[in-house]
Amino acid sequence: MTRHLLSIDDVNAEEIQQLFATAAEMHDVQKREVKKLPALRGRTVINLFFEDSTRTRSSFEIAGKWLSADVINLSAKGSSASKGESLRDTVLTVTAMGVDGLVMRHSASGAAHQVAGWLDIPVVNAGDGTHEHPTQALLDGYTLQRQLGGPGSLEGKRIAIVGDLTHSRVFRSNVKSLTKLGASVVAVAPPTLMPSGVADWSKAEGFATSYHLDDVLPEADAVMMLRVQRERMSGGFFPTSREYTVGYGLTRQRLGMLREGAPILHPGPMNRGLEISPEAADAASSRILDQVSAGVAIRMSVLYHLLAGEESA
Amino acid sequence: MSEPAPERVSDPSADGRVVLDARDISRALTRISHEILERNRDAEDLVLLGLHTRGVPLARRIAARIEAAEGHPVAHGALDVTMYRDDLRTHPTRAPHHTEIPPVGIDGKTVVLVDDVLFSGRTVRAALDALADYGRPAVVRLAVLVDRGHRQLPIRADHVGKNLPTARSERVGLSLEETDGIDEVRIVELEGVTTA
């Protein structure tokens, strides 16, 4: 297994399945009376978040705690980073306290890669700019695979990923991981939110892009709606939110175009009424809350495989 | 990643001498099943938990024998102790196996842990810790097919199929139909290991 998890490039299909298999066992822990495994007893994990996050950070925190690690949360707001300390000094300072693993989110693409080069402890990328968010892609793939029938069930499936693709690290990581697992991905976005050069991203059979959601939905085995990231937009990507919803929202009308039971995913936080209607978010085929609980299981699996075993030189 | 822990090594293609064949194993399991019943007249409070990997099919076989003798099924399942091992940090990590606690649970039950070979006792120590996270059994007992000695912890088995005095330089290779295609127990001399 990889030493760091910075990108989906760090794991091959077999290792992804191994992470999924471990996550499935971790998932059972959530149902137990004693939600605690001793695997990381005596280890300390630091969650260093330079960017806002609720679910990812709390998910990593719970994952670490259920594995008996000591978990420390640090956010950049109110820390020395806001007093002008460099990234390098910040991470070297916090890890000098005797930390065994670092989970990091940063608004700069590539930040986790750079930090991993400075440290001799495992680093998990919890989102870097518009680049990658590997644990989110793993939990999405895990949720889909469970839903579609277990290991191997993603083979040949068509997954539509819809929304603000330009700014989405979730999209980038998901294209890599879903195609590694044998699925094909159809990327759907308005031309202004389609990343440039996207056609060359993946050589996977059937990797395609489309500007027309209505053409894609009836053919999809699952649909993943992505959040419109207003905080990363300087405006001008679409005229009004109403027009975005008409063209690319999963509205009540579009819900009927989906195949019976096709899972609906959204990494959250949702803009209800913008990219996803309440009817879709709360539909019986919506797996959005399953994604959240899968998030804890996947992160336990990642922390276990990166931190529990022998130190890899 | 799937490197087996040292005390549970089994290799059906290995050389060495066969010390138990299929009939010996079958007889030993039948005797263990009857011993368990004798110690526990009321099979309804009984829960058999096999320890991964080869304890699981053994627990299933013992459950089948008890059912045949008593006329009603006995609760059985599987326990994975990977997360509870004390040697996690000296091996590459491996994916845990599936723990299957029967629906009746283990609270107030007589739990019989079933394993293939009892050696250092560390797997059983881990299993006792794991068990405590699932509930509080009234009694916990241990049944093993082979006891090869060399305990490193104060642990003993209640039901033993065969006591096999071994040297540390030897390896006990236990194969089962379900996992290896054949029932047999071999003792193999390890090269380059001196007796401690």
Query: A211-250 burial string, b = 16+ CB within 10 Å, else e?
Result: eebeebbeebbbbbbbbbbeeeeeeebbeeeeebbeebbb
| Inter-chain CB proximity A310 and B90 less than 8 Å | yes
* pLDDT for position B14: 55
CATH of range A8-132+292-307; options 3.40.50.1820, 3.20.20.300, 2.60.120.10, 3.40.50.1370? 3.40.50.1370
DSSP state, residue A242: H
* pLDDT for position A239: 83
Nearest by Cα to B25 from B167, B149, B160, B120: B160
Q: Mean of the pLDDT values across residues A160-182?
A: 95
CATH of range A134-288; options 3.40.50.1370, 3.40.30.10, 3.30.450.20, 3.90.550.10? 3.40.50.1370
Question: What value does the mean pLDDT of chain A take?
Answer: 92
Burial of A31 (0-12, 13-18, 19+ CB in 10 A): exposed
Strand partners, A209: A187
* pLDDT for position A198: 83
N-terminal to C-terminal alpha carbon distance within chain B = 28
Nearest by Cα to A162 from A282, A259, A244: A244
Nearest by Cα to B77 from B94, B107, B57, B93: B57
By DSSP bridging, strand B17-20 and strand A264-265 are unpaired
* pLDDT for position A70: 97
* pLDDT for position A233: 65
pLDDT band at A197 (very low <50, low <70, confident <90, very high): confident
Cβ(A294)–Cβ(A19) below 8 Å: no
Task: Look up the ipTM and state it.
Answer: 0.81
**pLDDT, mean of each 10-residue run, chain B (196 residues):** 44 74 96 94 90 96 95 94 93 92 94 97 97 94 97 97 94 94 92 53
Asked if A304 reaches chain B (Cβ–Cβ under 8 Å), the answer is yes
| Contact list, A309 vs chain B (CB under 8 Å) | 88-89, 91-93
pLDDT band at A225 (very low <50, low <70, confident <90, very high): very high
Asked if B37 reaches chain A (Cβ–Cβ under 8 Å), the answer is no
| Inter-chain CB proximity B99 and A28 less than 8 Å | yes
pLDDT above 90 as % of chain A: 81
Domain ranges for chain B, please list them.
21-166
Mutation site for A-interface testing, chosen from B3, B84, B88, B98 by largest number of A Cβ within 10 Å: B88
| Residue spans of alpha helices (H) in A96-182 | 111-118, 134-148, 169-180
Cβ(B110)–Cβ(B125) below 8 Å: no
Q: Is B21-166 a CATH 3.20.20.70 domain?
A: no
* pLDDT for position A162: 97
* pLDDT for position A311: 65
| Contact list, B93 vs chain A (CB under 8 Å) | 1, 304-305, 308-309
Asked if B89 reaches chain A (Cβ–Cβ under 8 Å), the answer is yes
Asked if B2 reaches chain A (Cβ–Cβ under 8 Å), the answer is no
Nearest by Cα to A11 from A301, A309, A313, A258: A301
Task: Return d(Cα A286, Cα A264) in angstroms, integer.
Answer: 5
Condensed to tens digits (0 to 9), the pLDDT of residues A69-106 reads 999 999 877 677 777 889 999 999 999 999 999 999 99
Asked if A39 reaches chain B (Cβ–Cβ under 8 Å), the answer is yes
* Residue ranges matching CATH 3.40.50.1370 in chain A: 8-132+292-307, 134-288
Condensed to tens digits (0 to 9), the pLDDT of residues A256-308 reads 999 999 999 999 999 999 999 999 999 999 999 999 999 999 999 999 999 99
| Inter-chain CB proximity B83 and A39 less than 8 Å | yes
Cβ(A68)–Cβ(A36) below 8 Å: yes
* pLDDT for position A85: 86
Residue A231 has pLDDT above 90, yes or no: no
Angle at CA of residue A190, ends A106 and A143, nearest 5°: 55
Residue A313 has pLDDT above 50, yes or no: no
Cβ(A133)–Cβ(A173) below 8 Å: yes
The predicted model scores a pTM of 0.90
What is the dihedral angle through the alpha carbons of A308, B1, B4, B5, rounded to the nearest 10 degrees? -20
Asked if A1 reaches chain B (Cβ–Cβ under 8 Å), the answer is yes
